[in-house]
Amino acid sequence: MHPSVKYVSAQANYILFIKFDNDESGHLDMKPFLDFGIFKRIQDPEIFSQVRVSFDSVEWPSGIDLDPEFIYTKCIKITRPTMA
């Protein structure tokens, strides 16, 4: 089971900033997926920016959503500096 999404924000250039319920966070680049199938609907930056958290994942008002496993696996995690 993968961590749930607790926060999402659309960034410039079709990047999602995501925070998970395990205190990890990261960026998900959606550009590679926007030319395929249903994802063509979120190519408009205004529509892309309407992303929101839904249950343990993210979705857009048009009903497009992402699998939580996909989000967690593809998300480039932000590492926090460790205290020495």
Q: What is the CATH number of the domain that holds 57?
A: 3.30.2020.10
Residue 81 has what pLDDT?
62
Residue 17 binned pLDDT confidence (cut-offs 50, 70, 90): very high
Domains identified in the chain, total number: 1
From residue 57, give the alpha-carbon distance in Å to each of 7, 12, 19, 40, 46.
9, 20, 11, 19, 20
Residue at 10 is within a domain? yes
Identify the pLDDT of residue 22: 93
Q: What is the pLDDT of residue 2?
A: 83
pLDDT tens-digit series, residues 20-70: 999 999 999 999 999 999 999 999 999 999 999 999 999 999 889 999 999
Tell me if 68 sits within 8 A of 5, measured CB to CB: yes
Q: Look up tokens 């993210």; give the residue.
A: 58
Residue 83 inside a domain? The answer is: no
